[in-house]
């Protein structure tokens, strides 16, 4: 097949499965802290999915070191190239930080980080109510930052796919792009 260089199949599978997980986690988190659903059912889904996101993000970064992404188009303005790199860095940082802060805040609250069945993660911080309160606020702030960065990312993806039509969207598209 000719056409633009694409992310490898494992990179695309990781991108899209993590996108689905993250797009589910933001409203699950929001529903937990409002009266929109059963708090205990939602939080017991939120913890293992969040830890899964942490594990997949680490796997994805390790894979990316061995399989670097395809280059951006040479004619892409410098500020857009910089914005792309900065936003991808922010997305990776937030994919790691949010679950770690979630885990840390429950540890500081001396609350067990139960995943599935008998699987319980050990605490990563000592019990400390002030620390818990600070991390709880940080978890919300980071979740808002992630939502905003994902929205900007979506906008950029649509700009590439619909307006510039420069192969960037096709490089991550789950389907095979037309030549």
- Is the CB of residue 124 less than 8 Å from the CB of residue 107? yes
d(CA 96, CA 39): 24
Cβ–Cβ contacts within 10 Å for residue 142, how many?
A: 19
Please give the structure tokens belonging to residue 166: 């420069």
Q: Minimum Å distance from CB 46 to ligand HEM?
A: 5
Q: Minimum Å distance from CB 60 to ligand HEM?
A: 7
Is residue 135 within the footprint of ligand HEM (CB under 6 A)? no
d(CA 88, CA 121): 29
Binding mask 87-126 for ligand HEM (x = CB under 6 A): -x--xx-----xx--xx--x------x-------------
Q: Which of 45, 56, 72, 138 binds ligand HEM (CB under 6 A)?
A: 72
Is residue 150 within the footprint of ligand HEM (CB under 6 A)? yes
Beta carbons within 8 Å of 147's beta carbon, 6+ residues apart: 26
Phi, psi of 121 (to 5 degrees): -80, 145
Q: Minimum Å distance from CB 101 to ligand HEM?
A: 8
Beta carbons within 8 Å of 6's beta carbon, 6+ residues apart: 12, 70, 170, 171, 172, 177
Residue 70 is given by DSSP the state P
Binding mask 22-61 for ligand HEM (x = CB under 6 A): xx-xx--xx-xx---------x--xx--xx-x--------
Binding residues vs ligand HEM (CB under 6 A): 15, 18-19, 22-23, 25-26, 29-30, 32-33, 43, 46-47, 50-51, 53, 64, 69, 72, 84, 88, 91-92, 98-99, 102-103, 106, 113, 139-140, 143, 146, 150, 153-154, 157, 168-169, 171-172
């Amino acid at each position: 097949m000719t056409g633009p260089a694409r992310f490898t199949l494992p990179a695309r599978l990781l991108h899209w499965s993590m996108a689905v997980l993250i797009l589910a986690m933001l409203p699950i988190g929001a529903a937990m802290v409002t009266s929109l659903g059963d708090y205990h059912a939602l939080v017991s889904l939120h913890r293992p999915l969040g830890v899964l996101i942490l594990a997949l993000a680490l796997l994805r970064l390790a894979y990316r070191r061995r399989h670097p992404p395809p280059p951006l188009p040479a004619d892409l303005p410098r500020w857009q190239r910089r914005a792309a790199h900065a936003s991808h860095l922010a997305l990776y940082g937030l994919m790691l930080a949010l679950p770690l802060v979630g885990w840390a805040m429950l540890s500081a609250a001396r609350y067990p980080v139960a995943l599935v069945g008998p699987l319980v993660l050990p605490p990563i911080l000592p019990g400390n109510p002030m620390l818990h309160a600070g991390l709880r606020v940080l978890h919300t702030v980071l979740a808002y930052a992630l939502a905003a960065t994902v929205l900007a990312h979506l906008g950029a993806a649509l700009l590439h796919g619909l307006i510039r039509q420069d192969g960037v969207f096709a490089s991550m598209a789950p389907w095979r792009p037309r030549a």
